[in-house]
Every structure is written in C-alpha cells, then in structure tokens.
Structure 1
Amino acid sequence: MVLADNEHEVRLWSHNPSQVNEINLEHKNHKYLPNIELPENIVGYSSLSETMEEIKIVILAVPTKAIREVVGQIKELEPKNPLIIVHVSKGIEPDTLLRISEMIKEELPEAYLDDIVVLSGPSHAEEVSLRHPTTVSVTSENMKAAEEIQDLFINQHFRVYTNPDVIGVEIGGALKNIIALAAGITDGLGYGDNAKAALMTRGLAEIARLGTKMGANPLTFSGLTGIGDLIVTCTSVHSRNWRAGNLLGKGQSLQEVLDNMGMVVEGVRTTKAAYQLANKYEVKMPITEALYDVLFNGIEPKDAVDRLMARVKTHEMEDLAIALGERGFEG
C-alpha cells in the first residue's frame, strides 16, 4: 500500500487464487486487513512467472521458513536482469544459523542478484494500512541500493532511514520476537507492567550481547530496529508473538497456540536458532534459555520465570560494557 500510494505499479503474488480474485475484484484482503480498501494499482497474481515479467525490484514478504522455497522458485524463472531483493521478514534459520540475507545469497546465483536490502522496524501492517505514522530503517551491503529503496518507500506517512549495519538490523528484528513471546507469557501469567518492563530491558541486553558478538554495531540496538521494534512487538495486541506468548501464559500448550493462531509465529522458530547461537558464541542469554525450555522442554511458564528471578546476582552495566568492548569502545 505504501508503494501504491507512491504511484508505483505493484504486483502482489499469492499462492491462493481466491485471495488474488478478492484483491483484484473487491480490492480487499478480508483475512489479514479487514475493512481496508486496497489501492487499485495493487494487482494480484497467481502465477509467479507473470508477476516477475520485467520486474527489477522484488519485495520478499514471506515467513522465514518459506524464504528458500520462494527464492528457489524465482531462481527457476531465470530472471533476465539482476534483481534487487528487499526482504521484510524477521527471523533466523535454525541449525544453519543464517540470517535471511545470507539465506537469499545461498539460494540465488549472483547472475540473478543485483543487491539485497533489508527493510525493518516497528511497523504493524494494521497501522500502516491506516496510513498511521510509521518509521523504519533500510540497510544493505551496498548503501546506494538502500538509498534507492529509501526513495521508493518514503512518504508523509512512512518515513525511512538508512543504516549501514546489516547484521544489527537483521538480528534486532529477529530476536525481538523472542522477547515479545516472553512478554506475552508474563502478561498471560498476570504479572503486570513491572515484570514486562524488566523483561524488555533485560531482553534488549541479551539481543545486544549476541548481536555485538556477531559483529553488529551496539548503537543499532538503541534504534528503530532494536528498541523501537522491541517496544511495539512486546506491547501491542497486533503482535502475533505477544498473542502467542499470552496464550502460553494462560495455560495453552504450544501446539494449541499454533493451531489457534492460524498465522506464523516467527518467535518460536527464532528461539531455537537464538538458543543455538548463544551456545555457538558462548553468550549468556537467560531469557532466551528460559523460553526455549518452555517451548521445547515442557517447563511450565511460571517455573521458568521463578528460575529467572532466582539467578545469581550481577551488575547491570556489565552487559553494556561487554557490548561496547566488543566494538573497540573503552570506558
């Protein structure tokens, strides 16, 4: 909708023909954006090959687990001109521990790929579709490509910043979903604002600790794709990860939650990947470890919270010092 408002021709590919017909005939998407009128210059397609004809820029907006499959389908089309791929997904692949931009690079030969740009930040679709003020960041290894995408998207409702820190932007966007799941659990348990404030603050410390160890700039985590995305995902009823955690806190099993949601909950998959990354980089991530135990080891949410509160005492500023030290800052 942002691109359509900027008077671009937008082709929206879907594997669901009925959804395509609804978009083209009614200019609606009742399942995901009820009561929203879609601009007429958004045209739905069922055929990926037709969607891709003479296209230079692809916005990849699919769940992390579908990235390889969809990029593989693009590769099979053998694009005539190298593509700029803009991904807006937020996750890390378990086991390979690759960020999404790294997954795209693995799947798409260089001959078909011009640049990869990451667009991330606090941006619930429900609010963007209402043209409420929204601000995000774009990043790329090629900042000229990031600036091109900045120009493509920016308007009076949708402000876009550039940020050269690809690792930090992707890690912040992915790991905040873990903390949002945990925040939902504390709300489901009825623990209130004190607990959630502590969880978000200490969660951001974990994100910065791991991200910095992986090569990110610690300052990124105080920006839109760090604390900004963390706030909106941990506090909004629009957040799928918060809603899933809330149901877990109220006693539902993980399978029950996933069945009831009917939508992808990226934080579940990312928790496994972050747990593996913490072990790989030898980074302390107690909230992530506690959530991993709830999701995959059958630990009761209340018991996990009790264990977090009973941890050995430590110094709050230690995390910041570690993060800054990793980047060569002193003092």
Structure 2
Amino acid sequence: MALLTAASLSQERTTVGVIGGGAWGTALAIHCARMGHTTTLWSRGSEVVDAVNEKHENTVHLPGCPCPPSLRASTDLAAVMTGHEVLLMVVPTQYIAATLGEAAKLLKPNQILVSCSKGITLDSLETVAELLEIKVVPSSCSHRLAYLSGPSFAAEVAREQPTAVTIASKDEALATRVQSLLSTVRFRCYRSTDVVGVELGGALKNVLAIACGISDGMGFGNNGRAALITRGLYEMTKLACARGASPLTMSGLAGMGDLVLTCTGDQSRNRTVGLRLGRGEKLADIQASMGGSVAEGVPTARAIRQLAARLGVEVPVMDGIHRCIHEGADAAQVVAESMSRDLKPEVEQAVIQASASAAELYRRAQTSAAALSAAASQALLAAASSGASQEDMEAAVAAAVEALKAAPPVAAAVGGGRGGGGGGGGGGGGGVSNGAVVGSVGKGARAGGRGERVAKGQAVAALAGAAVGAAVAAVAAALIGGRRRR
C-alpha cells in the first residue's frame, strides 16, 4: 500500500526562517516550504544561497534533494530574523553565540525560536537551552523557546521518508503550537516539557555513535555494537537524571531513538568519524576531508567528560571515547580495559533509586510548574526593574543562595549522595550547592532587586524546578539577567 502524501496535519500557515544552510537546516527548510509556510533559508555562504535560489537545490551540503521553488535563501541574517514568526536555529552548538551575536537582540516577544542543534558548549558545559536562555536570547523572548530533537537524517526528511521527532518546551502550549506547525503524515512531532532530557539525549548520543563506529571499523562485530548502545544508553540516563531530567525521556525519540539511528545508520557523520578512526585514520585528516560538515560528537566528548566529573557520574564508555579521540589512546586497549573492569550489577541500586526519585519529582513539578513559574517570573522581574545598588545586588545573590538551599523540595530532591543530582556550577555534595546559583550569576546575570523579593522569587523558582537543581538557578539567572540586556 502506498504511503500517504505529506499533507500537513494543520491548516495554519506562517512564515519560517531557517538559520543555518547545512544539510539539516536545508532539509527542514524544504519541509517547511513544502508544507506551505513562507520559508527563507539563511546561510553565511553565497554559494549555498545562489544554489538554492537559482538551481533549487543545496548542491553544497544536500545534493540530490530538490528544493521547492517557493523556498528562498539569503545571506542577510537580520532580515531573516526579523521577517518571520518562527525561526528554526540549525547551527552547530559551538558556533551559536558567534552566529547569532548582536542579531539576537532583534528578536521580538511574539516570535518563536526553535533550536534544532544538538550539543554541549565546551567552555561552560551548558546545553543549548541554557546557552540561549542565559547568554543569547533577550529575557523578553526567553519564554518563546522550543527544541527539536530525535532520529532524523537530513536526506530522509528532505525526501519525505517517514520521520518522528520530539518538540520540547517549558511552555507546553508553545510546544503544542510548534508541533502543529511542523507535523505532517511523513514528519510526526511529539511534544515534551522535559527540555533538559530532550537536549541531553540529542547531545550525548553523538559521542556513542563515534564509539559504535570505532567498534565497527575494528571489526568487533554486532555483539559489541549492541553492548555499546545498551551501556551507552545507561550512561545517558545516569547523566540525564543527575541533571534533573526524567529517565523516561531517555527511552523516547530524543534518547534511544536518536541513539539507535546515529549508531547504526550509514548517513551518520559521527559514526563515519568513528569508522575511519577504527580503520586507523587520524582525526585531523578525517575532519579536513569532511568539507565543512560537523561531527558534533568530537567536541561533545570533551564536554561530557568534564560534565560527568562535575556531577560525580561514572561513564566508562564515554570516557573511553574521549581518550581515543582527544588523548590518542589505542581503541583496542580501551576496550580491553573496559571489559576488565570490576564486575557489578547491570543497574546500580543507587541509579534505580535516583531514577525513581527523579521521575516522581518530575511528575510533581509538572503539576505545579505553570503557576509557580508565573509567580517566580513576576517576583524576579519586579526585582530586576527596581534599580538596586551594587550592595543590594550582592545581598540579593546571598539571599537567593540561602533561599535555594533551604527550599525543602530541593533539599529532599538533591540532598546527599555523590553528585546529589544538583549539577550546574555546584557539582557533588549535599543539596544544591552555592555554586549552582553563584555559577549561573557569574555567567553574566545580576540580581537587580531587593534581596527579600529576589529571595522569595528564588524560593518559588526552586519549588517549580525541584527536579532540576542547576536549572533552577539558570532560570532565575536568565530572568534577573533581563535588566542587564535591556
């Protein structure tokens, strides 16, 4: 039986700007234009823009996939960002801040920014969501952010082969709107409010794809690949829970779905890098031959090692890949060492307890997050607009730290145990450490109001995000930082 045509599941049409002219950005632009959205693709390179406009094909990054004649391309980033209601950001994680730069100030509160990038920043170990909310996007627009992730090779999307992805946003109404705008019978979008889990799933799987590529390149067989995928998923889940994500997210499209595709599909750039490493090629030579394509797993491997150390989470598979990529370790020796580690249960009891606790806290947070987040926003924004002195700012930060430490749900959620689930700037130890707040504040946010009001706002924010200790501070810092950016 023939597949259904790629009709939209919604009759609504809007304007879409796609920031990034690589393969994935082009595929999404093709998809949106085919749905009937007025779509413009931004690329830094005139070669891509000319090819799309004149040949109706991105012959540089996505050859063989025709673009609808209605799709236009431009090198004018400001025009693309200001002329469309929905913006899809498809830029490698390490270049997001540099690419958007001053242009991010052009965003308006009625626009929607959907990040389609997967990775973790090298300098600050932030997810794309944390980077955008704290450092890039104006505070007046931070409530209009969503994230797209899941198993999706660019060429298959461009050719209308069936695909399913996840749209995540802290605002479920926004996630629902984006889901409706992008879904067709060939491109099905599910929605989630677990932004942390969806983001981490998309970033962590790239490192494991390199691992599977190395294994295949060295001829270790199907058994070895299956072991890597399974144990890799376990490490993904441990890291995600330590950052406050729901463990269930790792079993979904943004977790296991993307992991399986990237570890087994021949179109995967990360798996290809691993294959070539496993066959004896040097990383520098591999990267030089990729024609500008980016394998996110290479820089992410370094970031994950630092993040795992900060959280106190053991990730031997990912650590081994870091050693192979960045320290020149022999892959066969790394495998031998991994297989010779002390014998242990498949799932550690502490992980079972942490997963159950995270799931329960996530459920509780979901039931009350909307009202509490609104209250937190009002309190923090009121504080940020009051024009405090430097002394008051310092007092506000100190009060915020104490309020966050004292919030019972947070203390219960992340207190005690190695890593404590707190993450962020704090790392391990009991409860959410001062570093979670101070670290976020140190990234540019300033407490711009009276200490008492900010403390109350922080306490409310802590209650709303009990399952995500570090994210609590990040949300508050983003709100407080609005005064600096205005």
- The interval holding the TM-score normalised by the smaller chain is over 0.9
Is the contact between residue 82 and residue 114 of structure 1 (CA under 8 Å) also seen in structure 2?
A: no
* 2:312 aligned residue: 282
The letter for the 1-side match of 2:355 is L
2:141 is the alignment partner of 1:92: no
* 1:217 aligned residue: 246
The letter for the 2-side match of 1:327 is A
- 1:162 is paired with a residue whose SS is strand
2:96 is the alignment partner of 1:75: no
- Report how far residue 47 of structure 1 moved: 1.1
- 1:304 is paired with a residue whose SS is helix
* 2:303 aligned residue: 273
2:102 is the alignment partner of 1:57: no
Query: Do the aligned partners of residues 246 and 325 (structure 1) sit closer, same or farther apart at CA in structure 2, a change above 3 Å counting?
Result: same
- Report how far residue 83 of structure 1 moved: 2.8
* 2:229 aligned residue: 200
CA distance in 2, matches of 1:80, 1:161: 26
The alignment-based identity, stated in percent, is 37
- Report how far residue 75 of structure 1 moved: 2.4
Q: What is the 5 A alignment of 1:160-199?
A: 160-199=189-228
The letter for the 2-side match of 1:324 is S
Q: What is the 5 A alignment of 1:114-129?
A: 114-129=143-158
Q: What is the 5 A alignment of 1:22-41?
A: 22-41=51-70
CA distance in 1, matches of 2:200, 2:154: 21
2:329 is the alignment partner of 1:307: no
Point out the more displaced range, 118-127 or 310-319.
310-319
* 2:352 aligned residue: 321
CA distance in 2, matches of 1:58, 1:6: 15
Relative to the length of structure 2, the TM-score reads 0.66
Q: Can you list the C-alpha shifts for 1:197-240, whole angstroms capped at 9, x where unaligned? A: 00000000000001001000000011101100000000001100
- 1:33 is paired with a residue whose SS is coil
* 2:132 aligned residue: 104
* 1:139 aligned residue: 168
- 1:261 is paired with a residue whose SS is coil
2:321 is the alignment partner of 1:291: yes
- 1:293 is paired with a residue whose SS is helix
- Report how far residue 247 of structure 1 moved: 0.6
Unaligned runs of 5+ in 2: 1-29, 361-486
* 2:35 aligned residue: 6
Q: Can you list the C-alpha shifts for 1:110-158, whole angstroms capped at 9, x where unaligned? A: 1354511000000000111110000000010111111111011000110
- Report how far residue 19 of structure 1 moved: 1.2
The letter for the 2-side match of 1:17 is S
CA distance in 2, matches of 1:157, 1:285: 36
Is the contact between residue 208 and residue 263 of structure 2 (CA under 8 Å) also seen in structure 1?
A: yes
CA distance in 1, matches of 2:104, 2:155: 32
Match among 33, 40, 44 for residue 15 of structure 1: 44
CA distance in 1, matches of 2:66, 2:356: 50
Query: Do the aligned partners of residues 323 and 235 (structure 1) sit closer, same or farther apart at CA in structure 2, a change above 3 Å counting?
Result: farther
- 1:2 is paired with a residue whose SS is helix
Point out the more displaced range, 189-198 or 303-312.
303-312
Relative to the length of structure 1, the TM-score reads 0.95
- Report how far residue 80 of structure 1 moved: 5.0
- 1:41 is paired with a residue whose SS is coil
- Report how far residue 241 of structure 1 moved: 0.3
Match among 249, 271, 284 for residue 242 of structure 1: 271
Is the contact between residue 65 and residue 155 of structure 2 (CA under 8 Å) also seen in structure 1?
A: no
Query: Do the aligned partners of residues 187 and 323 (structure 1) sit closer, same or farther apart at CA in structure 2, a change above 3 Å counting?
Result: farther
Is the contact between residue 175 and residue 274 of structure 1 (CA under 8 Å) also seen in structure 2?
A: yes
Structure with greater contact order relative to length (CA < 8 Å, sep ≥ 6): 1
- Report how far residue 71 of structure 1 moved: 2.3
Is the contact between residue 168 and residue 193 of structure 2 (CA under 8 Å) also seen in structure 1?
A: yes
Q: Can you list the C-alpha shifts for 1:91-112, whole angstroms capped at 9, x where unaligned? A: 0012311110111111122135
Is the contact between residue 20 and residue 44 of structure 1 (CA under 8 Å) also seen in structure 2?
A: yes
- Report how far residue 322 of structure 1 moved: 4.6
* 1:153 aligned residue: 182
CA distance in 1, matches of 2:347, 2:240: 17
2:278 is the alignment partner of 1:253: no
- Report how far residue 159 of structure 1 moved: 0.3
Please say which structure displays the higher CA radius of gyration. 2
Is the contact between residue 139 and residue 166 of structure 1 (CA under 8 Å) also seen in structure 2?
A: yes
Query: Do the aligned partners of residues 322 and 203 (structure 1) sit closer, same or farther apart at CA in structure 2, a change above 3 Å counting?
Result: farther
Is the contact between residue 246 and residue 359 of structure 2 (CA under 8 Å) also seen in structure 1?
A: no
CA distance in 2, matches of 1:260, 1:55: 35
CA distance in 2, matches of 1:150, 1:291: 35
Is the contact between residue 207 and residue 301 of structure 2 (CA under 8 Å) also seen in structure 1?
A: yes
CA distance in 2, matches of 1:90, 1:244: 17
Is the contact between residue 209 and residue 322 of structure 1 (CA under 8 Å) also seen in structure 2?
A: no
The letter for the 2-side match of 1:97 is L
